Amino acid sequence: MSVVEQYARAHIVTDADPDEDTAIPVVLRYDPEADPRSVRVGLPGTDEWTFSRTLLEQGLSAPVGTGEVRVWPCGRVGAVVEFHSARGVSVVQFETKTLLRFLRRTYLAAV
């Protein structure tokens, strides 16, 4: 089994000027030997979140999550992942196809 690491660009959801580019680099990781049921999302800086791969998958079609991580679809081509911590909330929007590609790779790596 091998580690899956995928680099992506996502957008921070803010109330800032909509013309301002808020794209950030994000690292999506899956290590089946460490935990075959979890994925990790690394945001710029030191923030890395580990949560259920099932949560990510289910959140692409319906809102899910009640704790530190919540996922929901956003329009026809987007998905939002919301991260809660003691420092505040980060809301990040991805293209759904990016997350689907990552999930597909995680299932292939787990075989």
Q: Is 79 exposed, middle or buried (0-12, 13-18, 19+ CB in 10 A)?
A: buried
Q: What residues form DSSP beta bridges with 6? A: 28
- Give per-residue pLDDT as tens, 8-56: 999 887 655 555 667 889 999 999 999 999 999 998 886 789 999 999 9
- Enter the pTM of the model: 0.88
Q: What pLDDT score does 21 carry?
A: 62
Give me 96's structure tokens: 């759904």
Answer whether 92's CB lies under 8 Å from 24's CB: yes
DSSP assignment of 48-94, as one string?
A: EEEEEHHHHHHHTTS-B-SSSEEEEEETTTEEEEEEEETTEEEEEEE
pLDDT bracket for residue 66 (50, 70, 90): confident
